[in-house]
């Protein structure tokens, strides 16, 4: 790790380092780093035991960032997230005790188990990178990433995230089960100790900030911009969708595509970047009609259909060559 390393080189080191812990899930690791480079937040929705917590911890350790885990439960209070002012009898004044949200990488574990009031404590931090307690606003450090997890199967005792909360997450991804050979490797890697115990930082928080700044300089052609908006606009007219993607989805897909292009060693975005990220950026923002939900229609399938029916920039020209 050197001070003169390029943002792309830093990104590659981070991905390779996290791959030591999260075996066989390079694409998901790349998407997680894309969310970080685009200054967004990540929702990981999957069954227990596939490595959601390890993904957050390994990213934090790889970039030398402070890490805090919040275990969301029904009795968790907003002050347990943001912090609280406590009266100091010796100083005869109130002093602020920071909550776990003040870390650079925050794992909101099983976020849908907390009440909506506690869930909403994350909104200001995620959107504005600040928290307000007792009328005093405190700015969060940089970089700042909230990685939340939830179980898509178990619904008893949970509080589904409202649309406003879901919209704050740049992407929603799923790790999925490993392949047979990969699971054998996981057993072998953890035979003596967990790989996370020996994981070392391969980048610094300052390099992550440089990566975020470099992503903002990636070129996006006007036709690709129109393609992004065409996808989100089409979601608002789809027959299975009651509430389509908002302009925030278009902006999120734009930012994420620039970050992914940089990670893949390009200074320009191509339609493939948009297509790879569209399901993760758009699907969780769609509200399907009651009839579509009754028939088991999945939002991800709707996004795939949108990509098949929306003209891709340059596709016709490539076919004529």
Residue that has been written with the tokens 């509430």 in this structure = 243
pLDDT tens per residue, range 154-190? 666 678 888 888 899 999 999 989 999 989 998 998 8
Residue indicated by tokens 């020209």: 317
CA angle 121/125/127 to nearest 5° reads 115
For residues 133 and 83, is the Cβ–Cβ distance under 8 A? Answer: yes
Local confidence band at 96 (pLDDT 50, 70, 90 cut-offs): confident
Q: Copy the structure tokens of residue 106.
A: 């925050």
Work out whether strand 130-133 and strand 136-139 pair parallel, antiparallel, or are unpaired. Answer: antiparallel
User: Hey, what are 44's tokens?
Assistant: 């990981």
Q: Give the architecture-level CATH label for domain 218-321.
A: Orthogonal Bundle (1.10)
Instruction: Please determine, for residue 317, whether its predicted confidence score (pLDDT) is greater than 80.
Output: no
Cis peptide before 233 (omega within 30 of 0): no
8 A C-beta contact, residue 281 and residue 249: yes
DSSP H stretches of helix in 216-294: 222-237, 247-263, 271-282, 290-294
CA-CA-CA-CA dihedral for 212, 119, 141, 256, to nearest 10: 0
Q: What is the pLDDT of residue 156?
A: 66
What is the rounded radius of gyration, in angstroms, for the C-alpha atoms of the chain?
20
Q: Which residues contact 132 (CB under 8 A, 6 or more apart)?
A: 124, 138
Q: 320 pLDDT exceeds 80?
A: no
Counts for the chain of helices (H) and strands (E), in that order = 15, 11
**pLDDT band for position 219 (cuts 50, 70, 90):** very high
Q: What is the pLDDT of residues 280-305, one digit of tens each?
A: 999 999 999 999 999 999 999 999 99
Q: Residue 173 in contact with residue 279, Cβ under 8 Å?
A: no
Confidence bin at 221 (pLDDT 50/70/90)? very high
The three-class DSSP label of residue 297 is coil
pLDDT at 157: 66
Residue 303 in contact with residue 279, Cβ under 8 Å?
A: yes
158, HSE (Cβ side, Cα atoms, 13 Å): 15
- Evaluate if pTM is beyond 0.85: yes
pLDDT in tens, 107-137: 999 998 888 888 888 888 898 889 988 888 8
Q: What is the pLDDT of residues 243-262, one digit of tens each?
A: 999 999 999 999 999 999 99
Residues in the chain: 321
> What's the confidence (pLDDT) of residue 159?
81
pLDDT of amino acid 155: 63
**pLDDT score, position 93:** 83
pLDDT over 90 at 57, yes or no: yes
Distance (Å, whole) CA 39 – CA 261: 15
């Amino acid at each position: 790790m050197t001070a003169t390393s390029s943002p792309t080189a830093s990104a590659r080191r981070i991905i390779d380092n996290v791959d030591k812990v999260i075996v066989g899930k390079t694409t998901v690791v790349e998407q997680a780093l894309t969310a970080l480079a685009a200054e967004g937040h990540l929702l990981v929705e999957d069954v227990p035991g596939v490595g959601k917590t390890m993904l957050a911890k390994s990213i934090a350790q790889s970039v030398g960032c402070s890490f805090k885990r919040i275990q969301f439960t029904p009795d968790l209070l907003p002050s347990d997230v943001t912090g609280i002012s406590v009266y100091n009898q010796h100083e005869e004044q109130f002093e602020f005790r920071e909550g776990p949200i003040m870390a650079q990488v925050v794992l909101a574990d099983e976020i849908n188990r907390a009440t909506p009031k506690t869930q909403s404590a994350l909104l200001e931090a995620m959107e504005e990178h600040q928290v307000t307690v007792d009328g005093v606003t405190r700015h969060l450090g940089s970089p700042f990433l909230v990685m939340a997890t939830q179980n898509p199967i178990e619904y008893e005792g949970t509080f589904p995230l409202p649309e406003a909360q879901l919209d704050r997450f740049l992407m929603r991804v799923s790790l999925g089960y490993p392949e047979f050979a990969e699971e054998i490797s996981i057993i072998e890697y953890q035979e003596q100790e967990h790989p996370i115990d020996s994981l070392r930082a391969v980048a610094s928080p300052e390099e992550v900030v440089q990566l975020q700044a470099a992503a903002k300089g990636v070129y996006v052609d006007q036709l690709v911009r129109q393609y992004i908006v065409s996808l989100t606009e089409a979601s608002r007219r789809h027959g299975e969708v009651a509430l389509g993607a908002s302009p925030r989805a278009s902006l999120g897909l734009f930012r994420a595509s620039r970050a992914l292009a940089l990670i893949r060693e390009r200074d320009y975005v191509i339609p493939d970047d948009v297509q790879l990220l569209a399901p993760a950026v758009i699907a969780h923002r769609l509200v399907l009609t009651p009839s579509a939900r009754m028939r088991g229609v999945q939002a991800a399938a709707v996004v795939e259909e949108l990509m098949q029916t929306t003209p891709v920039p340059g596709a016709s020209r490539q076919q004529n060559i």
